[in-house]
Structure 1
Amino acid sequence: MNALKIPVKVATYEELVPQVGQPVLINDKPIALFKVTSGEVYAIEDKSPHPKGGVLSEGLVSGHYVFCPVYDWKISLADGLVQAPDEGKVQTYKVEVRDGDVYVSL
């Protein structure tokens, strides 16, 4: 039986600063929220996939990508894929914005 994915309120839309990561914790999972300049909000796991890790919410955001602050890996906020020549993937999560509140489903 699949567990029901219930959206969890994590922030208000207005408190998210464009191109600045916002770390949140949901059920002991570190999640990074990003509001891009076009207004969309993304949620990805807050750890880079390379062996030494890296806190992605501290990374530089450009367009729909975040750059790992440790090794400068370019990671898509939309699908979590690390861009070539590097390889890897981070978990992405569904985001909903309703009535000015931001919800994430794990």
Structure 2
Amino acid sequence: MRAVRPAVRVGRASTVLRPVALVTVIGLAALLFGLFALDIAVGEFRIPVGRVLDVLGGGGTRAQRFVIMDSRLPRALTAVVVGAALGLAGAVTQSILHNPLASPDLLGIT
């Protein structure tokens, strides 16, 4: 006999609660945030990760705010957005073509 998974309902929308998938998504989001903060911290002018989080929260010195907010944060955000766009492009290509080996690249479908 299979165990029944609990359903989560919000208004008219409902989904099945999958604990393993939820833990995986939360873990990957935490890893993304940690690597995001590490990417901002590393550079010619090294800033500790704790100070990066402080500056992102509104603290830090004027020099640290300039380096993080004006120089490194746009670069890190661009990397996250481009990575997400490439992943989404691959998922859309594979779902449209029904081919798990299809990938969007410069030369077409491979």
- Band of TM-score, shorter chain: under 0.3
Q: With structure 1 as the length reference, what TM-score do the two structures score?
A: 0.25
Q: With structure 2 as the length reference, what TM-score do the two structures score?
A: 0.24
Q: Which structure's residues are more often strand, by fraction? A: 1
